[in-house]
Structure 1
Amino acid sequence: MDINEFLRSRHGAARTETLRKAGFTKRALAKAVNDGAVARLHRGVYTSADADPDVVAAFRADGLLTCVSAARFYGLWTLGGAEEVHLSCSTGLARRRVVHHGARLHPDHPYLPVAGVADVLIHALRCLPELDALVMVQSAVSLALLSTDFLRSKLPGNRNGRIRETLDLVLPRADSLLEVLAHTHFTKAGLKVQMHVDVPEVGEVDCLVNECLIVEIDGGTHLEGKQVKKDQYRNNAAMRGGLLSLHYYYADVVHHPERMVAEVLTVLRKREAGRFAPARYAPGWVPPS
């Protein structure tokens, strides 16, 4: 493996110590720099031309990526990137366009300048808006990287009360960030929400709201022809079983949750008022079964 291949496996940057352990001699490193194959960021750190900017920023600040800036290195969901780099720096000194987080209490990433997943999530819970932190924690739990009980044990006391309330919103199972967001929005609106319910003749549905309204949270595959037909047949089966059905997409759940919740409440209120009850046609208008 040449030095650029090795650096690419480290997102484009590594310390001298790491490179030496991988078999690259001092002479080989000097030659790579002279040939322009790699650059020396500063004493003890080498980078490739295509190095990850966040990784480079971490090495330059002598810190570790954390919070939302570390999410992608663990495969965690996020609602968007950050303009600033979130770092835990050994010096704690403020830097331009850097959000500094506190000390780390758990093992760091084994070879990248990234904080350990436990510290990443604790920092996110203390730093980010509730929903942004929630989806990160939910994905970590879904990936079995840690548990909410573990995080609760690390967040004692009154000052962490709000954070522990966020952990209460984590689901035992969520197949996408849209599901956890929809569940949170419906729950906060005072609705009874059951996730991943097996409905007779319909199959598993994403949400069953107030035991009468199916809400499906559809991704891109639901726009494909075969899936559209399958969804329509599922809707028909739900109607035969006396259940109403609504469908929402990414933009609805992430960008317009208030409108989504308002529509759900409208349908539920109309059902309660009898607007979806059997029509008062003359007897015999509908043939007997």
Structure 2
Amino acid sequence: MDICDYLARRAGAARSHELQKAGFTRARVGRAVALGLLVRVRRGVYALPGDNRVAGVLAAGGRLTCLSAAPVYRLWTLNDPAGLHLSRSHPVHTSGVVEHGRPRHPRHPWLPVLGLADVLLHALHCLPELEALVMVQSAVSAGDVSLDFLYGRCQGRRNGRARSVLDLVIPRADSVLEVLANVYFARAGLRVRRHVYIPGVGEVDFLVEEILVVETDGSTHFEPKSIKRDQRRNNRSIIGGYLVLRYYYEDVIHRPEAMVAEVQAVLRAWRRPTGSGRGDQFA
């Protein structure tokens, strides 16, 4: 195998002992560096040219965890990490590095990354509530970890905050928007059912108080075919006697209070006894 291909399969960097184990001699590595194919990041660490986070992790002598490891496991996130979240055998104060504890579970088989279990447990104890929630929810929804397993690792008084995040995980979530909207609706005291099938309409994201359909739409819903499909679903929902509201990324992420206020306003208007029919409620 070509040395560059080998490194590319390992996210662009490796330690010298890993290269030797794979059959690349010191002389071969040295020639690759001389030709500019590899960069010697520090003693014993080599990488492909260019900005490479994994090379930096190896150079720092640690493994990625928490928010920094989310891309490796394709976990949902709300924000990019401001610093580098690492687990190191011998932590030292390093600017821009968030230190985490040592691993308690098997590590990633070849990348300098902790195993998924430790990544999620570190997130539960490190990140703000909703940021930790979306990471855990994506792993649970994908079937990569069980909620019972995480609860089992979060026993005791010191883990109360972590358990409170796990309490927010729902059986199924198709997007970050669904996860967050569910939290906001529940905390507003709204009675909500998720993924409800409505005849003639199909499955809707939320049915609030058994009358208001709320859909949370991601970027794929901006395609022309999707827009027409969603508008027709709206029409069929209204014909069937339901109210409909749709919200997008900026609504759920950046203005959740306004979203909840609008939902509550529509429900109040529907309940207002100003006429005999539902349509009269908004007159």
Please tell me the TM-score bracket, short chain as reference: over 0.9
What is the aligned partner in structure 1 of residue 48 from structure 2?
48
Report deviation, 1:140. Answer: 0.7
Is 1:232 paired with 2:268? no
1:39 & 1:223 partners in 2: Cα distance? 43
What is the aligned partner in structure 2 of residue 203 from structure 1?
202
1:51 & 1:26 partners in 2: Cα distance? 24
Residue type at the aligned position of 2:110: Y
**What pairs up with 1:1-289 in 2 under 5 angstroms?**
1-50=1-50, 52-53=52-53, 55-274=54-273, 277-279=278-280
2:108 & 2:87 partners in 1: Cα distance? 13
Q: What CA deviation, in whole Å up to 9, does each residue of 1:192-241 have, x standing for no partner? A: 11111001221100111111110001122222222222222211221122
**Conserved in 2, the CA contact under 8 Å of 1:13 and 1:51?**
no
Same amino acid, percent of matched pairs:
54
Query: Structure 2-normalised TM-score?
Result: 0.94
Report deviation, 1:184. Answer: 1.0
Residue type at the aligned position of 2:24: F
1:279 & 1:74 partners in 2: Cα distance? 51
Q: What CA deviation, in whole Å up to 9, does each residue of 1:235-274 have, x standing for no partner? A: 1221122210000001101111111111111111111223
Residue type at the aligned position of 1:249: Y
Determine helix, strand or coil for the equivalent of 1:198. Answer: strand
Query: Structure 1-normalised TM-score?
Result: 0.92
Residue type at the aligned position of 2:105: H
Report deviation, 1:132. Answer: 0.5
Determine helix, strand or coil for the equivalent of 1:94. Answer: coil
**Conserved in 2, the CA contact under 8 Å of 1:206 and 1:216?**
yes
Residue type at the aligned position of 2:253: V
**Conserved in 1, the CA contact under 8 Å of 2:196 and 2:204?**
yes
Q: What CA deviation, in whole Å up to 9, does each residue of 1:23-78 have, x standing for no partner? A: 2112211222222221222222111103522x122112111110000000001010
1:102 & 1:161 partners in 2: Cα distance? 18
**Conserved in 1, the CA contact under 8 Å of 2:64 and 2:85?**
yes
Determine helix, strand or coil for the equivalent of 1:74. Answer: coil
**Conserved in 2, the CA contact under 8 Å of 1:77 and 1:177?**
yes
1:66 & 1:28 partners in 2: Cα distance? 32
**Conserved in 2, the CA contact under 8 Å of 1:11 and 1:51?**
no
Report deviation, 1:278. Answer: 4.2
2:37 & 2:279 partners in 1: Cα distance? 76
Residue type at the aligned position of 1:107: P
Q: Which runs of 5+ in 2 are unaligned?
A: none
2:38 & 2:220 partners in 1: Cα distance? 42
2:107 & 2:20 partners in 1: Cα distance? 21
2:77 & 2:280 partners in 1: Cα distance? 46
**Conserved in 2, the CA contact under 8 Å of 1:12 and 1:51?**
no
Q: After TM superposition, what 4+ stretches of structure 1 lie above 4 angstroms from structure 2?
A: none
1:46 & 1:140 partners in 2: Cα distance? 31
State how many pairs are aligned: 279
Determine helix, strand or coil for the equivalent of 2:71. Answer: helix
What is the aligned partner in structure 2 of residue 283 from structure 1?
none
2:181 & 2:170 partners in 1: Cα distance? 11
**Conserved in 2, the CA contact under 8 Å of 1:71 and 1:77?**
yes
1:274 & 1:265 partners in 2: Cα distance? 16
